[in-house]
Chain A
């Protein structure tokens, strides 16, 4: 491809575009980012402290550690999946590296995520959790997680061009994942034989890591981090390969 531009500037502009479009048409703006997880937190806390009392202490913080990663994941995954097909005029008429589209779509959910994480930290402080050095692990796990979703977005956005059913698969898979990720239940209640498999799911892994860091005041275990890193790097590599292979035919199929 004969495009020799400034990729960083391009990413910046595309992320800004998504961010502006998302918030310009909302009168409540950024407040929406906070409302959804807060409502979920209140509802789940109500269900699991009043209806099915759970023994987990600091349940609101516990459940936010599950909701925030899951929300980010499902939003970025589904937006990423439709990003190429949804930007068809761009893909067919303007030549710039195509993988910028799914990746920037995922990255444009990051400001949204950041606002929610700030809220989570606020909640943690309210519940009397003291910040410590291990909080720096949050940066590492989130970089791995975002990388993982970028890889997924490359795979699924490319597939979605050829098979439109992809986006419906992603929708259903997200719903299923809500139950398979320990969002409102504790990892400890999972039978031992399933735990290893659970940890290979990066969304579950990040929920576990966040609870380790914020609630148990310790760094995530090396095994968990290795699994998360392995799956993320592998997903990015596979995503890159698949995307490079399929993008040759985007023009014809869009």
Chain B
């Protein structure tokens, strides 16, 4: 079992934007606890090594929160998340990019954050630049790049880390057809090499093509999990399956 989530709950305090001292003091003194929002409610599932899991659900269903828990960005309020492998998570494109650095400088910085060693990063950088198709612009500051170029660079780094677990959140939608096709091909290669893959997408075709397992979330709860085809069929039909159909 490479990823295991056991009875995971994640709640968020509403109005947590109140980070001024005055409000904090008032809240502490009056023992007022803000309202809570339950983002994930008793979610349990596991992923075997080499499996690929597609997570579907409406906006606000808890998909991104779940990915954050798996990639270690947040901790569950209750329950446990166990991950046994090196994770490369692409949750927001170019989150670590700085506009004043050149493409190459950003590449090395991002590679370091993704967990590359210096040696690997330097020996792979040409491959990554080549994959991204950015060419000579690589030594120009990132602020001169188009959105698509930045996206391609970020994606090229993530798929070249050789992760044991690759997590992608709805980021394949950007980019032109040629690049998307290249990415899909690369993800398939990574999967065939035994890497575990998790993605969130609103594109049914993409998810059915890339994943073999499916997880359907709604309002923070697991509606259904099982073979991707069954899950997608039920999801597209908007039909809540009966208990007998929920087979892993």
Question: Contact at A253–B100, with CB atoms within 8 Å?
Answer: no
Q: Which residues of B contact A14 (CB under 8 A)?
A: 109, 112
Is B72 touching A17 in the complex (CB atoms < 8 A)?
A: no
Could you say which of B88-96, B127-135, B182-190, B219-227 contacts chain A? B88-96
Q: Which residues of B contact A165 (CB under 8 A)?
A: 20-21
Measured between beta carbons, the chain B residues less than 8 angstroms from A163 are: 19-21, 24
B3-36 to A contact mask, C-beta < 8 Å, 1/0: 0000000001100100111001000000000000
Q: Are B87 and A13 in contact (CB under 8 A)?
A: no
Q: Is the CB of A96 within 8 A of B19?
A: no
B105 at the interface (CB under 8 A from A): yes
Q: By the criterion CB–CB under 8 Å, are A164 and B87 in contact?
A: no
Contact B112 A6 (CB under 8 A): yes
Q: Residue of A at shortest CB range from B22?
A: A165
Q: Does B98 contact A (CB under 8 A)?
A: yes
CA distance A2 to B117 in the complex (A): 15
A160-199: contact bitstring with B at CB < 8 Å (1 yes, 0 no)? 0111110000000000000000000000000000000000
A141 to B68, CA, bound (A): 41
From known contacts A90-B96, A163-B19, infer whether A4 and B86 are also in contact, taking CB-CB under 8 Å. Answer: yes
With most chain B CB atoms within 10 A of its CB, the pick from A3, A16, A92, A95 is A95
B85 contacts which of A2, A24, A94, A96 (Cβ < 8 Å)? A2
Neighbour of B121 across the interface among A8, A9, A24, CB < 8 A: A9
A3 CA to B117 CA, complexed, in Å = 12
Q: Check if B95 sits within 8 Å of A93, measured CB to CB.
A: yes
Assembly CA distance A24 to B99 (angstroms): 12
Residue A122 CB within 8 A of the other chain = no
A34 at the interface (CB under 8 A from B): no
A162-B73 contact, Cβ under 8 Å, with A9-B112, A24-B100, A251-B68: no
- A9–B68 alpha-carbon span in the complex (Å): 24
A25 at the interface (CB under 8 A from B): yes
Query: A13–B16 contact, CB under 8 A?
Result: no
Contact check, B72 vs A2: say whether CB atoms are below 8 A apart. yes
Report which of B12, B87, B96 forms a contact with A252, defined as CB distance below 8 A: B12
Contacts of A93 in B (CB 8 A): 73, 91-92, 95-96
A89 part of interface (Cβ distance < 8 Å): yes
Judged by a CB distance under 8 angstroms, whether B115 is at the interface is yes
Are B117 and A9 in touch, CB under 8 angstroms? yes
Report the separation of the CA atoms of residues A5 and B115 in the bound assembly, to the nearest whole angstrom.
Answer: 4
Q: Give, as a whole number of angstroms, the nearest-CB distance from B165 to chain A.
A: 8
Residue of A whose beta carbon sits closest to that of B21: A165
- A6, B91: Cβ atoms under 8 Å? no
Bound complex: CA A16 to CA B105 (Å): 9
Q: In A60-105, which residues have CB < 8 Å from any B CB? A: 89-96
Cβ < 8 Å to B, chain A residues 24-46 = 24-25
**A246 → chain B closest CB, angstroms:** 12
CA distance A2 to B71 in the complex (A): 7
Residues of chain A with a CB closer than 8 A to B24's CB: 162-163
- A118-139: contact bitstring with B at CB < 8 Å (1 yes, 0 no)? 0000000000000000000000
Complex contacts, B89 vs chain A, CB 8 Å: 94-95
Chain A residues lying within 8 Å of B75, measured Cβ to Cβ, are: 248, 251
> For window 116-142 of chain B, which residues contact chain A by CB distance below 8 Å?
116-118, 121
Please list 23 pairs of residues, one from A and one from B, whose beta carbons are closer than 8 Å in the complex, sorted by A's number: A1-B72, A2-B165, A4-B115, A5-B112, A9-B117, A9-B121, A13-B112, A14-B112, A17-B101, A89-B92, A90-B113, A91-B73, A92-B68, A92-B73, A93-B92, A93-B95, A95-B71, A161-B19, A163-B19, A163-B21, A164-B20, A165-B20, A251-B68
Extra contacts besides A8-B118, A12-B112, A13-B109 (6): CB < 8 Å:
A2-B87, A4-B115, A20-B100, A25-B100, A93-B96, A252-B13
Residue numbers of B with Cβ under 8 A of A are 12-13, 16, 19-21, 24, 68, 71-75, 83, 85-87, 89, 91-92, 95-96, 98, 100-101, 105, 108-109, 112-118, 121, 165
> Which 8 interchain pairs have the tightest Cβ spacing?
A5-B115, A93-B95, A251-B74, A6-B117, A9-B118, A1-B72, A13-B112, A165-B21
